[in-house]
Amino acid sequence: MSEYRLIEEYRRQLRRYTLEQLRKIPEAGVWSLGQMYDHLIAVAHEYMDHVEACAEAETEQPLGKTAAGEDAFRIGGFPPVKIELPEDMNQADNPDSIDGLEERLRQVMSRMRELEVRAAAANANAKVEHGGFGWLNAREWHALIGMHFRHHLRQKRELEERLGL
């Protein structure tokens, strides 16, 4: 499934939930569905900022991916494990509205489409460092958006099960 179809499916499925269900935090230390959506959107924009930085870079970076980065791109996704984020990166807001989340997902897809051409044309040796995957170029940062959305499908299913959906 293309990353656009995947994100569109996330957007479409928002109508399955009430705002109360989206905001329900199942237990301490576990995000609500809405917080997970907020995280996905925020990270997508962060990754797209890196696509832009790579596309505008005038210097090349000789360093490459870490072993974890090589593995992720070889298999086309994040490893199927829960990833503990540092506390400062583990913040996500509960949504105020379903319509707001839908619009933010539309904005993600629109910006992704705009950046797809720039990513493809960018110098493959112009890179920005990812904390776990090493030095990634514009195309890799763009691909990472879909990989990140796919990575959270399991969490989404688990949260839906907790809500009895």
Give the start-to-end residue ranges of the domains of the chain: 3-162
CATH T-level assignment (fold) for domain 3-162:
Four Helix Bundle (Hemerythrin (Met), subunit A) (1.20.120)
Average pLDDT over residues 104-126: 97
Mean pLDDT of the chain: 93
Residues written for the chain: 165
State the pLDDT at residue 81: 72
Position 136 scores a pLDDT of 98
Q: What are the structure tokens assigned to 65, written together? A: 């991916």
41 exposed, middle or buried (CB, 10 Å; 0-12, 13-18, 19+)?
A: buried
Express each pLDDT in 53-102 by its tens digit.
999 999 999 999 999 999 999 999 987 777 776 666 667 889 999 999 99
DSSP code at position 5: H
Cα(8)–Cα(108) distance, rounded to whole angstroms? Answer: 10
What is the C-alpha separation between 13 and 17, in angstroms, rounded?
A: 8
